[in-house]
Amino acid sequence: MILVGSALVTWIPRITPFILGKMVKFPAIVTRFLQYLPLSILCALLLETVFNAKAGTLATPKWDVVVALVPTVITAVWLKDLMKTVVVGIVAMALVRLVM
């Protein structure tokens, strides 16, 4: 019962927006705003990963992540294939950690 309840509590908030999004016709400005949301979230996660930030100091890059990020971004822009981008990112990070 606890597992089923936990699954529902997790599943319902994640699925409900997709169901409502199909049923409701949003105004053009809301649709345009929502188109940028995934990119904004990914950029925020990426910046958090790339930089060390501490209160009262300037953010410094994590150079191992920056080196692995370069081929990953090139792959993403060039191929526009999420699976290949993820594989290149994993391999690049593994190679960087192996070498550094």
Which position has the higher pLDDT, 20 or 63? Answer: 63
For 62, the token pair is 């994590």
Q: What is the mean pLDDT of residues 18-25?
A: 86
Tell me what pLDDT residue 34 has: 85
Domain membership flag for residue 56: no
The 3-state DSSP class for residue 25 equals coil
Question: What is the band of 93 on the pLDDT scale with cuts at 50, 70, 90?
Answer: very high
Tell me what pLDDT residue 76 has: 93
For residue range 31-88, list pLDDT tens digits in order.
899 889 888 988 898 999 999 988 899 999 999 999 999 999 999 999 999 899 999 9
Q: How far apart are CA 5 and CA 50, in angstroms?
A: 37
Domain hosting 4: range is: 1-51
Q: Could you tell me if 77 and 45 lie in one domain?
A: no
Domain tally, the chain: 2
Tell me what pLDDT residue 87 has: 96
Q: Could you tell me if 40 and 81 lie in one domain?
A: no
pLDDT greater than 90 at residue 92: yes
Q: How far apart are CA 82 and CA 40, in angstroms?
A: 17
Domain membership flag for residue 57: no
Mean pLDDT check: name the lowest of 9-13, 87-91, 93-97. Answer: 9-13
Q: How far apart are CA 99 and CA 87, in angstroms?
A: 18
DSSP 30-83: HHHHHHHHHHHHHHHHHHHHHEE--TTS--EE-HHHHHHHHHHHHHHHHH--HH
